[in-house]
Structure formats: C-alpha cells, structure tokens
C-alpha cells in the first residue's frame, strides 16, 4: 500500500503571535518556516513576509514596546524553558536584557511611555517568582515586589505608576491586584472564596475598571467588568461554554474574544458603546492570539483547524469578513488528504458523558485499526486543530480518537475536578468505556487498538496498559510520567506545588501513588511499548522514561526507546520530529498495521 511520507505533514509550518507595528503597516509574527521559530514581518504592500531574526535557538514570543519600533523577544536554550529576554531592533539586532541563564523570566509588558519593561523571575529562589522592572536604555533592573509565591506582571496600568499583577494559587485559581511602584503596596482586586480564575484583563477607557474573563461563582468562564475602586464584578457575557483570548481595541470600545464550544472556536466582537455582539464565520478549528490593528479597523488572530493548519488571519472589523494573511502552513501535497473529526460522546462507567473527536481515514474497508491519543495537562483540552502526526496516521489507514476524559478543561469546574488526587484512576476508566464505544459504534478492530499520549497523557498511556492491559495492542508514551513519586521529587521546584494540588503530595498520598504508579506494575504490561523523551525536559524529567524502559528491558519485554539529547518537554526541531514520528508509524505498522 502506498501512502504519503511523514515529511510533508511535518513540513507544514505554523505562524502565530501576531503583533502590529505602531504604524499599522507591518505585522510581526513568529513562524517556524525555516525549521526553527523566528520573527518575521509582513508588510501590507508586500505579498510575502521577510525574516527579521536569525537566532540559533527558538523564539518563544515577540511584543512591541509601547510607541516604539523596538520589540522584546523571549528565547531559551535547548527547549529548557529557562526563558531569557532580549531587545530586537527594526534592523534585526539583538541586545540581551536578562543574562541569567539558570533562571526563568516571564515578560509583563512595557510602560505607556515605552521607557520601561516589567517581568517576573525566580532569580531569588527556584520556587518563587518576584517582580522586576527594567529600563530599556540603561538596562537598569529594579526589584519591585518580593514574596514567597508565584507572581507575575500582567500589564502596566495606563498611569505608568503601577502594575496589574497576578498571584497564582493553582492552574485553576488566581488573583489580580494593583501594585503601586512608589510604595510597593498591593491592593488585591479579586480575593474570593473557593476557586476562581481571572484571565486576560484589559483596562477600560477611563481606567476605572478592568474587563476580564472569569469563572468566579460559576461553572464556565464568562466576560465581566471589575470596578477598581469597589472590586465589584459585573457580568457582561455568560454562556454555558468557556470564553477565551480576550483583547481590547485601542480606542477601548471593542472587546474581541472566542467561545470554546466543546473544542471548536467561535469568534465574537462585543461593542461596548452599543452593547451588541457580532460573530464571523470560520472553518472548524481554534481561534487564538487576537490583536487589534492600531486604528482598530482590523483584528489579527491565529486560526488552526484540521484542514487549515496554524496561520494568521485578519478580520475586517467593518465588513465582518476574514481573510488569511499568511500561508506558511499551505501544503498542496497533503491538502486533499486532511480529515475533519466527528464530535462524539460516550457514556463512562458511572454514566458520565465524555466527549471525544473521532477521525476516520478517507479510504478504509472493514474493521479499523485505531489510535487513541490522550492529551496532557491534565487540566487541558484536545481541540479540533491540525496535528501533523495524527493526520499522518490517518493517511496510513488508522482511525484516530482524541478523548477529553474527566479532568479536562472546557466543560466546567465540576468536570475538571473529577480526576483530582484519589480520583485519578477514574479518568483511566473513561478510556475503557471509550474502547467499548469504539468496538460497538466506531467500527474498531478490537485486536488493533493502540494508545498514545504525551506528558500527563503519557502517564495515562502507562496507567492504561498496566491497569487494563488486555485492551491495548500497542502503546506509545511521549515524555510521560511513570511514577508520581519520582516525578514530584525531580520536576522543577517552581512547578511542584502547582502539580501537588492536582496529583497529591508524597507526604499525604505516597501510598496511593504506590498503588497506581505504572513503574510498580510493569509485570502486568502485555502490549509492546515505545517511549520517546527529551533529555532537557524540565517538566517531566527524563528519569521517568528511563526507569520504565529499564524495568521492561530487565523483563525482556518488547520496548523501543528514543532519547533526544537536544530537546526538552516539546520536540521543536524538524529533524527530530521526522525521526520520532517515522519511528512511531513503523511501530504501529508492526503491531496493529493493516
């Protein structure tokens, strides 16, 4: 049987992080068009963008400094996530701002006069993030806030004398406050009982309130306004889905955001003066990274769908028509082969309805070999977007199912907590119900079902094949957790506290970890296993891969291990992705192939 090689799927590039030049004629963005994420520019009067940065490491973000042509970029080394900040000039010259390679720096925006930037860093202590401002001419750095905890700068106040800052209690709980730079005092705006998040805050025209996305006292994330004097919260848009990606026009009259309807985005513009909502048409996919042009006539955004890989689009705000600006993802070789999913729901062991996307190959006869792909997080969500290796598997004749098991985000507060700590294995049970659905309703071959996942999804793979080994004919673990004990002992200290809120702690839950950890149940594994990991992974240390691999090798169990010395938690380099997913496809062919 003939199929398209993996390379055309991985050669599909992506574009993101659109930011307009102050003159509105140039759009800066990041693309991996040359194989490594770099800054490019698109001029309104030119058809093809030009590359601006030429670094040896990936560029993570780009932002203009207020009222200037200078940009701030973030880079790390070997995908180690220890982000450093740099100035990028209009000519492409790069000046280091933070020269502390052992620490993490998170950018927090520039002052209204363009003279200062703000950022947070764990320079003082590996676990805690303090707040700093820096003069972009003298490069002078001032620490402006120090507390034990996870703090970040969201943006500068329009008065230039204070910062809007964030205190993070967990991935699902945070607070916003105003830090006065002169006094160092903080006035917290959103202190609350229970759990709530406050995202994407935007200052109103008069500076007396902020618009924010929040799920305070409700299941789903809505749009609200918070009075900066009284801290009173008023709802502007409440739906039974999460709202995302809020941004505000420069004239402060328009709010743009997306609605996450079960993993598929709908774009919305809310006119604050007229109190009217408008939407625009998009294919099936996800809308992210919205940005208004300086004159507010256009809205740039990133669109990513199964048939429309990640590119930058632009909405004409007046006509409500969108067009594609970049075409770095266009690939005639595979365009006709791309598959959109069906959104399905299956009933789990306790009657819970669990959503999933089910992709079927275009050409198939008889029962289907199926790859179940489990997302990471776990407080995350698989979206209907372009995924190169999943589309590649489809072209080779495999069906692909991507569930959002309990614990996923996007379905309300209750749903996201259904897998916390001692309920961890309930989400693994969801996978057993999915297998039954696939066999009874999805035309799946019961002897050819494989499971694959990355990060926390890698744990789900290992848990599935150790607790329910008879269901799986092959398994692929990518940067996954094999033991919560060793993971919590070795992960970056800045992450440990946040992860303990989800997984539990060694002190209180150690015996439970011993019961469920895959590393203690390797004798139960019957399916062949492939493991892939990056040596520089700061999130899930590579020891998680090597201990499970060594255990299986000692048992003479079939296991394939690929270690990338120059990658971290994410595989960024094209050559490594080609190696990885060619090997994965060959592995699937060997054990569940047609």
543, 564 in Cβ contact below 8 A? no
Mean pLDDT computed over 175-201:
97
DSSP 68: S
What value does the mean pLDDT take over residues 37-52? 88
Q: Say what the pTM is.
A: 0.94
**In percent, how much of the chain has pLDDT > 90?**
87
pLDDT for 214 beyond 60: yes
Confidence of residue 594 (pLDDT cuts 50, 70, 90): confident
pLDDT band at 215 (very low <50, low <70, confident <90, very high): very high
What is the pLDDT, as a whole number, of residue 249? 98
**For 342-390, what is each residue's pLDDT tens digit?**
999 999 999 999 999 999 999 888 899 999 999 998 889 999 999 999 9
φ, ψ for residue 431, nearest 5 deg: -65, -35
The pLDDT assigned to 241 comes to: 98
Topology of domain 339-592 in CATH is Rossmann fold (3.40.50)
End-to-end, the C-alpha distance of the chain in Å comes to 9
Least confident of 145-154, 209-218, 330-339, 480-489: 330-339
Residue ranges of domains in the chain: 339-592
pLDDT digit string, tens, across residues 501-527: 788 888 989 999 999 999 999 999 999
pLDDT at residue 4 greater than cutoff 80: no
Q: What integer best gives the mean pLDDT of the chain?
A: 95
Contacts of 148 (CB under 8 A, 6+ apart): 125, 127, 128
**In the predicted model, what is the mean pLDDT of residues 15-36?**
93
pLDDT of residue 562: 98
Q: What is the DSSP letter of 340?
A: P
Query: Environment class of residue 23 by beta-carbon count within 10 Å: exposed (0-12), middle (13-18) or buried (19+)?
Result: exposed
User: What's the whole-number mean pLDDT along residues 410-430?
Assistant: 95
Helix (H) or strand (E) holding 260: strand 254-261
Task: Please tell me the distance from the alpha carbon of residue 225 to that of residue 383, in angstroms, as a whole number.
Answer: 28
- Give the pLDDT mean for 279-286: 95
pLDDT of residue 503: 87
| pLDDT at residue 247, rounded to an integer | 99
Kindly report the backbone phi and psi dihedral angles of residue 543, in degrees, each rounded to the nearest multiple of 5, phi listed first.
Answer: -60, -25
């Amino acid at each position: 049987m003939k199929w398209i090689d993996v390379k055309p799927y991985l050669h599909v590039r992506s574009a993101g992080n659109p930011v307009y030049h102050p003159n509105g004629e140039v759009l800066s963005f990041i693309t991996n068009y040359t194989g490594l994420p770099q800054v490019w520019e698109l001029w309104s009067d030119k058809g093809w963008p030009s590359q601006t940065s030429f670094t040896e490491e990936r560029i993570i973000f780009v932002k203009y400094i207020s009222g200037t042509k200078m940009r701030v970029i973030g880079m790390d080394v070997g995908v180690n996530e220890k982000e450093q900040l740099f100035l990028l000039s209009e000519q492409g010259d790069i000046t280091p701002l933070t020269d502390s390679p052992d620490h993490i720096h998170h950018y927090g925006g520039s002052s209204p006069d363009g003279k200062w930037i703000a950022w947070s860093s764990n320079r003082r202590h590996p676990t805690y993030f303090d707040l700093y401002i820096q003069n972009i001419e003298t490069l002078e750095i001032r620490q402006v806030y120090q507390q034990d905890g996870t703090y970040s700068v969201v943006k500068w106040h329009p008065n230039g004398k204070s910062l809007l800052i964030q205190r993070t209690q967990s991935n699902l709980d945070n607070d916003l406050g105003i830090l006065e730079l002169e006094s160092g005092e903080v006035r917290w705006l959103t202190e609350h009982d229970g759990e709530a998040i406050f995202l994407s805050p935007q200052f109103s025209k008069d500076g007396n309130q902020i618009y924010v996305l929040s799920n305070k006292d409700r299941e789903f994330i809505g749009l609200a306004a918070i009075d900066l004097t009284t801290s009173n919260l008023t709802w502007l848009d409440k739906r039974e889905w999460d709202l995302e990606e809020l941004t505000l026009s420069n004239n402060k009259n328009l709010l743009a955001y997306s609605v996450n309807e079960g993993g598929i985005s709908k774009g919305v513009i809310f006119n604050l003066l007229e109190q009217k909502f408008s939407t625009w048409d998009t294919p099936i996919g996800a809308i992210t990274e919205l940005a208004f042009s300086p004159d507010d006539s256009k809205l740039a955004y990133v669109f990513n769908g199964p048939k429309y890989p990640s590119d930058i689009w632009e909405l004409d705000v007046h006509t409500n028509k969108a067009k594609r600006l970049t075409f770095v993802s266009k690939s005639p070789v595979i365009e006709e082969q791309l598959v959109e999913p069906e959104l399905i729901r299956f009933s789990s062991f306790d009657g819970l309805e669990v959503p999933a996307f089910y992709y079927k190959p275009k050409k198939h006869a008889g029962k289907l070999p199926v790859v179940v792909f489990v997302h990471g997080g776990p407080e995350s969500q698989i979206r209907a977007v372009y995924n190169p290796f999943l589309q590649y598997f489809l072209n080779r004749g495999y069906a692909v199912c991507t569930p959002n098991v309990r614990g996923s985000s996007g379905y309300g507060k209750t749903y996201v907590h259904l897998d916390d700590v001692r309920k961890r294995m309930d989400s693994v049970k969801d996978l057993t119900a999915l297998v039954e659905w696939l066999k009874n309703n999805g035309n799946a071959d019961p002897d050819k079902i494989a499971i694959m996942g990355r990060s926390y999804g890698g744990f789900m793979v290992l848990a599935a094949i150790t607790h329910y080994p008879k269901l799986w004919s092959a398994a692929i673990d990518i940067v996954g957790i094999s033991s919560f004990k060793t993971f919590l002992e070795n992960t970056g200290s800045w992450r440990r506290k946040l992860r303990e809120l989800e997984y539990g702690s060694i002190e209180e839950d150690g015996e439970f970890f011993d019961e469920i950890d895959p590393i203690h149940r390797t004798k139960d594994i019957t399916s062949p296993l492939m493991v892939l990991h990056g040596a520089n992974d700061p999130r899930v240390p590579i020891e998680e891969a090597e201990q499970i691999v060594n255990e299986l090798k000692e048992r003479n169990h079939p296991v394939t291990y690929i270690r990338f010395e120059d990658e971290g938690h994410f595989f960024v380099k094209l050559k490594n992705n080609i190696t990885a997913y060619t090997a994965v496809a060959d592995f699937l062919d060997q054990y569940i192939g047609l």
